[in-house]
Structure formats: structure tokens, C-alpha cells
Amino acid sequence: MGGEAVRFVRIPRRSLPPLGGLVAAVAVSLTGSRVAAVALPWFVLVTTGSVTQTGVVAFCETAPYVASKALAGPWIDRLGPRRVSWVTDLASAASVVLIPLLHALNLLSYALLLVLVAVVGAVRGPGDLAKEVMVPQAAELSGVALERGTGWIGVMERLSGTLGPMAGGGLVLLFGPMAGLAVNGAAFLLGSALVALALPKGMGGPVPAAGRESGYLRSLGEAFTLLRSDPLLVTIIVMLTVTNFLDAAMWVLLPVWARDSGSGAGMFGLLLGVSSATAVGGSLVAATIAHRLSRRRVFFGGFLLGGAPKFLILAMDVPAWVVVAVFAVGGFGTGFLNPVLGAVLFERIPPELLGRVQGLGSSLAFAGTPLGGLLAGAGAAAVGLVPVLMTVGLAYLLATVASGMRPEWRRMDEQRVSSPNPSHRAEALDA
């Protein structure tokens, strides 16, 4: 895993701060995706009336997303994440816009919809990965400590998750679900333009020693070797694989709950928006003070607040304000997760392997996501919504508590002490 030392290119002061440009691109593209996360399942649910078919649509998007993210790492390291990001966002825009266009022309069949969402997932995976890979470089070039850089990206992710679902719910109520997908396409187009035009060309280029002398499979094998040799990375991936599998069920079960409870698409979007809004607060706190706190305690505290409770409360006959409150508290907890996790991963992965390892690790962590929505839909159709919600909630609680007992998690804070990452030395420059 050696190779020549990696030196990032210093961007002239007159350029847009790299972290600011990246944050804007992440915010725009994710906002559009969150709008579609409300509009698309609602469209399938109300037009087909089938929970199972709604789960199949989720599967057809997430499976190619996970696979393409796993395989894109070597190409991102070789071609440069900036180029991959704007090209794939442009392709995502074209694919998404075809859905409302074909629907308006009465040419959109269910089978064709599955093909289009699969294409969207396949091109979105490398685009999301490319933006993740640029975070440590953008943080260093902007003179920001790594935890603060990942924290601000987390803030924008959560803010997008607030505005997107609320906008999606409003668009569905006022104009129908196809309007939400049109907005998603426009957001991808704007995100592509931001990366291509706003981010300086000196940023996000191919990383030296990125496996140019070795073949594609060998480059991918180097990433797998690094992951396998690091006990903390293995433990993180195993836990995230389980929790992401369970989280995927929410994207199918929540619209079913909103429909069956009579709350409608407005409540669907509201719950997602409230959860993300409070997560913005959690991410802001993490960006400010996370570098002073125990990463392990913050990480598992966030999971205990934001994991099991949101499933269990939906299974209970309680007033709507109680459901909103639980989602709000859970969102605040989850706001701490990505800043802490991102900092740990960027510290432990050499820059010349970042695209490959981040892509492979992320895909392994999301490997069960396609089945999560599919099985949740099939289970709700077979045995009912409440038993599935209770099962998923209890499984989430067990997975969080059992994983938290592993000794490998102590390395989260040990690594911080000895980390050579230059971004930590930049903290004093952060205003």
C-alpha cells in the first residue's frame, strides 16, 4: 500500500474555497434525490396499489447503486473524482428526466420504469463516491480540520434531507409525483454544473500512485486487502451492513404507514423532513465540538437515538405529534454519525487508495440495502405492517447493542491521537 507521497495541489486564494464548492454540489444533488425519495415510491404505491411492487422499484435502484459504487473506485482514482462526479451527475439528470417525460407521453410501463431507476442507481453510485473522495482534499486546501470538513458535509447532507422530503411531499400534493422527479433531474444538472465550473481544476485530479501500473482487478484487490487487514474497518462495515439493511425498510414501510394511517404524502414528507432538520442540528454540533468528544460514545449514542425508536413508534397507536417527536430526537442523534465516521475512515485510508477503499467499503456496507426494501414490502404484504415494524425495530436495537460490545471500537479514539493526517494541523487556520 506504499507508493510515492501524495501532495495535494494548492489552490490560489482567489478561487472558490474548495470545501464550499463541494458542499454546494453535495447539497444540490442530495436535495433532488430526497425529493425523488418521496415522489417515486408514492407514485408506484398509488398507481399500482402494491407494496411489493414498491419494494421492487427500490431494489432496482439500490442494487445497481451499490454494485457501481463498489466497482467505480479504481476508475475514480485513475480519472479523478472531479471529472467522474460531474459526468455521472449529468447522466443521472438525463435518466431521471425521462421518467416524467415518458409518463406524460403515456409510454411509461412498469417494466420500463424499473429499467430507468436501475440506470439512475448505476450512475448515481460513482457520482456520490466521487464527492466523498474529494472531502479530505477539499478540507485541507480550505484550511479546515478533518472532523469539521466532514461535519459541514454532514450538515449539508442533513439539510438536504430536510428540504428535499418536505419539498417532495409538497410537490406530490400540489402537482403530483412526476413534478418531484422533474425537480430531481434539474438538481442533478445543477450539481453537475457546480462541480464542473465552480470547483477548481487543480482539485480532484488523479491521485499519484493510483494503480496506473497495475490492472483494474489488482487495483480493486489492493482495496480489499487493506479493508481485510484493519479490524476496526471490518467491524464498522459489518455493523453498517446490518443497520443499512434495516434502514432500507423505512423507505418502503413509511409510505405504507402514511397511507394506511390516513396521514398521506404530507406526513410522509414531514417525518423525513423533521428527522433531517434535527439531524442538521446534530451535524452542526458535531462540526463544532466532535473533535473534542469520544468518538465511540458519540457514535453509539447517535445510533441508539436514531435507529430502533423510529420503527417501534410507528408500530404503536400514538398521536401524530409523538411520532414527530421521536423522529426529531432520532434525527438529532444520527446527525453525529457521518462526521465521526467520515473522519475515522479518512484517517485510516491512504489517499492513493481512497477511491477504491471508500467505494468498496461503502458498497459492502450497503450490500443488504436492496434486499431491505424488497423484503420489507413483501413482509408487510404477507403479515401486515405492524409485525414488520416491530421486528425491524427490535433487530436494530439488538444489532446496535451487540456491535457496541466489540473491543475494536476503542481504536476510533486511539487513531485520532496518532493520526498523521495533515488536515488536523490545519485546525488553527479555521475561522
Q: Report the amino acid identity of residue 56.
A: V
CB 74 within 8 A of CB 221: no
pLDDT at 413: 64
Q: Could you give the CA distance from residue 252 to residue 380 in angstroms, rounded to a whole number? A: 9
CB 220 within 8 A of CB 213: no
- How far CA 157 is from CA of 24, 104, 106, 416, in Å, comes to 10, 31, 35, 24
Q: Could you give the CA distance from residue 96 to residue 283 in angstroms, rounded to a whole number? A: 29
Average pLDDT over residues 97-109: 88
CB 168 within 8 A of CB 251: no
Residue ranges and CATH numbers for the domains of the chain are: 18-203+215-421 (1.20.1250.20)
Cell of 266: 404530507
pLDDT at 25: 83
Which residue is listed with cell 454532514? 154
Q: Could you give the CA distance from residue 360 to residue 362 in angstroms, rounded to a whole number? A: 6
179 pLDDT above the threshold of 50: yes
**282 Cβ partners below 8 Å, 6+ apart?**
158, 302, 331, 332, 333, 334, 335, 336
User: What are the tens digits of pLDDT across the range 180-220?
Assistant: 888 888 888 888 888 777 776 766 555 555 444 456 777 77
CB 19 within 8 A of CB 138: yes
Cell of 32: 433532488
pLDDT at 60: 84
pTM: predicted TM-score of the whole model, two decimal places: 0.62
User: What are the tens digits of pLDDT across the range 252-303?
Assistant: 788 888 887 777 767 777 787 788 778 877 777 766 665 566 677 777 878 8
Angle among Cα 425, 427, 429 to the nearest 5 degrees reads 105
Q: How many residues does the chain have?
A: 431
CA 160 to chain centre: 11
> Which among 210, 223, 182 is positioned nearest to 84, based on CA atoms?
210
Average pLDDT over residues 310-319: 86
